[in-house]
Amino acid sequence: MAEANTGAKLCVRGLTRRFGGLIAVNNVDLELKVGEVHAVIGTNGAGKSTLINMLSGEIAASSGTIALDGIDVTQMPQPRRARAGIGRSYQRTTIFPEFSVLENCRLTAQAQAHPRPWYFWQASRNCTLSNERAHAALARAGLTPHLNAQAGSLSHGAKRQLEVAMCLATGPQVLLLDEPLAGMGAEETERMLGLLQELKAGHAVLLVEHDMDAVFRIADRITVMVNGSVVASGTPDEIRIDPVVRTAYLGEEQAHG
Ligand SMILES: Nc1ncnc2c1ncn2[C@@H]1O[C@H](COP(=O)(O)OP(=O)(O)OP(=O)(O)O)[C@@H](O)[C@H]1O
């Protein structure tokens, strides 16, 4: 089913997920556009990860639609959705610590370029396309100096950069980033925010993040979730003064900041 063209890369309508009697995500509308970082914020258990998992295709929606470039992808399985251009990074670290930075990136690039399982028997270093994609993604993420380092030896911040690079190596148009700043120091946070700022030029970016200072600096649009529902959506300035958000989430101190 084709969706109305809203100019959005990803258009979400009435997305809902139930776990038994619990409605984890309730009737959410959302649009992601190339050139924008769209942050989704909310207290613990608000439904942010469930929302990302539905967008990436890792869990099924109970109802509602997800359209990529006007094409309904709601029923599309995760690997096909990734190949269609929806990439994601995870809250937990998903790198192979024993492998080099380049090898980690090559593997995700190869999974994208050659989705059939038997291609994994072919050494990814022999795959020209995977090599090119991995090198390009690592360059964008600022990790070229660490190509041959063992991934497990990287600093926490560099590991998160590698996860973004691994996502970029799949050639996504939509980037779903689940708490990319978690556990980062000030310098690492600045580096990641600089990267997101660059990436948004060519991608539609969804950012789930608890670091409110970073969110209000980087986001072009913020959607606020409480108990599975969207309570507000707007520019950072609109969200800062939204009375519902002030009481439900930010608290008076942050709202005045
Ligand atoms: N697989 C599951 N089975 C049952 N309930 C679940 C499942 N996954 C999530 N939930 C519930 O759905 C609600 C939303 O959880 P979710 O993890 O999406 O919230 P969140 O906003 O990402 O929280 P956090 O910021 O802590 O990561 C919570 O009440 C959670 O307990």
- Per-residue pLDDT band for 184 (boundaries 50, 70, 90) equals confident
Which strands sit side by side in the sheet containing 63-68, from one edge to the other?
A: 22-32, 10-19, 63-68, 71-72
**How confident is the model over 67-81, as pLDDT tens digits?**
999 999 999 999 899
Mutate to test the pocket of ligand 1, among 15, 16, 18, 22 (most ligand atoms within 8 A of CB): 22
176 lines ligand 1 (CB under 6 A): no
96 lines ligand 1 (CB under 6 A): no
pTM over the 0.90 mark: no
Q: Which CATH class is domain 1-85+174-257?
A: alpha beta
Residue 150, pLDDT > 70, answer yes
- Per-residue pLDDT band for 2 (boundaries 50, 70, 90) equals very low
45 lines ligand 1 (CB under 6 A): yes
Residue 220, pLDDT > 60, answer yes
Q: What residues does each domain of the chain span?
A: 1-85+174-257, 92-171
Query: Pairing state of beta strands 71-72 and 229-234?
Result: unpaired
The gap between the terminal CA atoms of the chain, to the nearest Å, is: 44
Residue 159, pLDDT > 50, answer yes
Which tokens belong to 212? 């409110």
Which tokens belong to 90? 């995870």
Sequence-distant (≥ 6) Cβ neighbours of residue 18 within 8 angstroms: 24, 62
Looking at the DSSP bridge assignments, the partners of residue 233 are 223
Average pLDDT, integer, range 130-150: 91
Looking at the DSSP bridge assignments, the partners of residue 68 are 10, 71
Nearest CA to ligand 1 atom 10: 24
85 lines ligand 1 (CB under 6 A): no
Closest ligand 1 atom, residue 210 Cα = 25
- Per-residue pLDDT band for 207 (boundaries 50, 70, 90) equals very high
Which tokens belong to 188? 């690492």
- Per-residue pLDDT band for 1 (boundaries 50, 70, 90) equals very low
46 lines ligand 1 (CB under 6 A): yes
Residue 173, pLDDT > 50, answer yes
Taking Cα atoms as reference points, which of 103, 83, 41, 69 lies closest to residue 245?
Answer: 41
Gap from CA of 29 to ligand 1 centroid (Å): 18
Average pLDDT, integer, range 214-229: 95
pLDDT (0 to 100) of residue 131? 86
